[in-house]
Chains A and B, each alone.
Chain A
Amino acid sequence: MVDVAFQSGSAVSVAEQVDRAKVLQKLRLGDAAFRHLTRAAAVTVLVILSGIIFSLVYGAWPALQKFGFNFLIEESWNPVTEHFGAIAPIYGTIVTSLIAMLIAVPVGLFIALFLTELCPLWLRRPVGIAIELLAGIPSIIYGIWGLFVFAPFLQQHVQPFLIAAFGNVPVLSTLFEGPPYGIGILTAGLILAIMVLPFITSISRDVFEAVPPVLKEAAYGLGCTTWEVARYVVLPFTRVGVIGGVMLALGRALGETMAVTFVIGNAHRISGSILAPGTTISATIANEFTEAVGDLYTSSLIALGLILFVITFIVLAFARLMLMRLNARLGT
């Protein structure tokens, strides 16, 4: 390309000099077109988002009008009498995500710290690739694996142990009560933990690697232990990225549908025990939407979708707020 340019440059003629204005004009036009194109792409996002919000509200309106605020607090989900309440799926969504985050956040951060700070070089690539593969597995595979392999394992080995071990402990006995079905809230939470782990790990690893070595070396030079370096140098330096990764993972956990549907037990009940079957918002929609007959039923399912949208929005807004306050306090 450069050669060609030089050749044409060495043979400058009068005609080409005149063309120059034209060419510049063309370039300017191209730039303007590019600017408009990118702006259109950005505006499209806003249009789509508001379109989604509008259609959710519009679709959910009959149900919201009929049940009002009670839709949020009633447990009954009865397609026969057309009486719907969303608290059971809301509860299931939040509890399964909570279990998933309780497990995945520490484990994910530890994996990332190990990979960046402690891991021998030859092990780094295999573990890193394994984590990324974990992220690439489609959720239906997690669901099938959960139903055929993981749930029977939990049912035969883990759940009887939990029931026996905590049977006499006041609060925990309620938490781990009931027959070991194998599937239920806990199983869904565990599957979700495995599914969101790669998000937390790979994002944290990337941001941990971005920590300037000189900071860490200085800390080590002062006599810090690896734990102290991780806690007081790496984590504070990368907190924005880490929280971003955690929120991305939480978003996936809240919305995950297929894998959860397989292992949660799909029962519209709130139970004190996390071994009992429950349901989540997305699982309910996926299960019931195709055969939902009647306007109120369909509308209630869309209202569930709206609630999930709002929950996700609140989570993201909360994360932003937390970051802003953190940054303001630390003056960065």
Chain B
Amino acid sequence: MARSGVWPQTWRVPLKHWTAIAAAGFLAAAAYLPANAADISGAGATFPYPIYAKWADAYKKETGNGLNYQSIGSGGGIKQITARTVTFGASDMPLEPAELDKIGVIQFPTVMGGIVPVVNLDGIKSGDLTIDGPTLAKIFLGDIKKWNDPALAKLNPAAKLPDQAIALVHRSDGSGTTFVFTNYLSKVSGEWKSKVGSSTAVQWPAGIGAKGNEGVANNVANTKGAIGYVETAYAKQNKLTTTKMINKDGKTVTADSESIMAAAAGADWAKAPGFYQILTDEPGAKSWPIAGATFILIPKEPKDAAAASEALKFFAWAYKNGDKMAEELDYVPMPDSVVTLIQSKWKSDVKAAM
């Protein structure tokens, strides 16, 4: 009885808090929704995330339109665009034309990157070692087990190759890098094609798996006699020991933006339906043999035509103004001839295009 004056008040106080919190939540949601509706949303590949973020930032400053890109992985990007929950999807691995038709989207490349073998051998510096495609395939199949193997010695008469076991390091996570690398090995080696094949993740015949470019780089750095593969941008930024490659024309090339651009120029984009083009083993004296583009997927008949049109405007802006930003981040921009092809494809295939 004596407490009666006190109790009800003490439990009424938290109730007041709850209403306050709920009200604040509604206000926040209300403030958030309109802003979200004006933005373009995209989801997918992790590899191009830094450049998409940079472009989006610059684009927002210029036009006031925002882009919300979630790097959830290529698989997730394809699922999201199939379900049409985002304006565009992004994938490091291009979809086959038949699959594009099935989910009713078109695909186009935005930026390119190269992949380069990295090694850890005493006394061997970047560019000291040259490997050709079939030999690289034999190494990753586990057929060539030692660094002083005759096949390697023949390619590198000047280098002093040790009698040391080759430790293989590959990506453990599914990745576009692995897709491009295994695609190249499949093109240059029939045995690789039949035994392993090409995908974002494969059943590796030998070696250890490491997560991400940084995982591969660190495992190679920690293991004497190791060989792995990373993106050229990553190798450059971290000053890894890279090798040269012999390309389709039989010329020895170094991985840089020039040789990757040469590979893109050598490819016949006009004859590739759905821009299904993987830049591996491309002809051309200067072409780097292991390169690939990253792709955008956008519906032919978008649910929200205005948003799709905004997204295409964004990419048109990026092709026009984004090359320098891409190069700063060590991506390779698409050649102008390809961009023209892409934009005519937008006009013919996407409803509500600009």
Using a CB–CB cutoff of 8 Å, the interface residues on chain A facing chain B are: 1, 4-6, 8-9, 12, 16, 19-20, 23, 26-27, 30, 76-81, 147-148, 151-152, 155, 179, 181-184, 261-262, 265-268, 277, 279, 283, 287-294, 297-298
Contacts and interface: CB of A to CB of B under 8 A. Distances in A.
B237 interface: no
Given A290-B73, A290-B75, A80 B203 contact: yes
Contacts of B175: 291
A163 B4 CA distance: 78
Contacts of B104: none
B48 interface: no
Given A80-B196, A261-B211, A291 B174 contact: yes
Given A79-B203, A80-B199, 10 more contacts: A19-B4, A23-B8, A27-B7, A147-B218, A288-B174, A289-B73, A291-B92, A292-B174, A293-B91, A297-B75
Given A151-B222, A290-B76, A266 B172 contact: yes
Interface string B131-152: 0000000000000000000000
A179 B165 contact: yes
Interface in B216-244: 218-219, 222-223
B75 A181 contact: no
Scoring A79, A148, A184 by chain B CB atoms within 10 A of each residue's CB, the highest score goes to: A79
Interface in B149-191: 165, 167, 172-176
A9 B3 CA distance: 8
A287 B5 contact: no
Given A5-B6, A78-B202, A20 B1 contact: yes
Contact of B208 (A277, A283, A289, A298): A277
A120 to B, nearest CB: 41
B165 A290 contact: no
Interface in B1-18: 1-8, 11
B316 interface: no
A73 B168 CA distance: 27
5 contacts: A6-B2, A79-B202, A181-B167, A267-B204, A277-B208
* Shortest Cβ-Cβ A-B pairs, 6 listed: A290-B73, A291-B174, A266-B209, A266-B172, A80-B197, A9-B2
A247 B200 CA distance: 37
B46 A26 contact: no
A265 B222 CA distance: 13
A2 B66 CA distance: 59
Contacts of B78: 293
Contact of A293 (B1, B8, B93, B219): B93
B209 A287 contact: yes
Nearest to B72: A290
B320 to A, nearest CB: 30
B210 interface: yes
Contacts of A289: 73, 75, 174
A267 B207 contact: yes
B203 to A, nearest CB: 4
A58 to B, nearest CB: 16
Given A9-B2, A23-B7, A181-B223, A291 B207 contact: no
B287 interface: no
Contacts of B73: 289-291
B306 to A, nearest CB: 30
B1 A9 contact: yes
B11 A30 contact: yes
B200 A267 contact: no
Contacts of B4: 8, 16, 19-20, 23
Given A265-B209, A291-B73, A291-B74, A80 B202 contact: yes
Contacts of A9: 1-2
B259 interface: no
A8 B4 CA distance: 9
A182 B222 contact: yes
B215 interface: yes
Nearest to A143: B211
B318 to A, nearest CB: 24
Contacts of B7: 23, 27
B200 A79 contact: yes
A77 B202 CA distance: 8
B209 A277 contact: yes
A268 B6 contact: no
Scoring A267, A283, A293 by chain B CB atoms within 10 A of each residue's CB, the highest score goes to: A293
A26 B92 CA distance: 63
A30 B8 CA distance: 9
Contacts of A151: 222
A290 B200 CA distance: 10
B198 interface: yes
Contacts of A277: 207-209
Interface in B54-105: 72-76, 78, 91-93
Nearest to B91: A293
Contacts of B338: none
A78 B203 CA distance: 5
A267 B208 contact: yes
B339 interface: no
B75 A5 contact: no
B201 interface: yes
B215 A262 contact: yes
Nearest to B182: A80
Contact of A267 (B176, B199, B209): B209
Nearest to A180: B223
B72 A287 contact: no
Nearest to B4: A23
A287 B1 contact: no
Nearest to A82: B199
Nearest to A10: B2
A85 to B, nearest CB: 11
Contacts of A294: 75
A179 B174 contact: no
Nearest to B218: A147
A290 B173 contact: yes
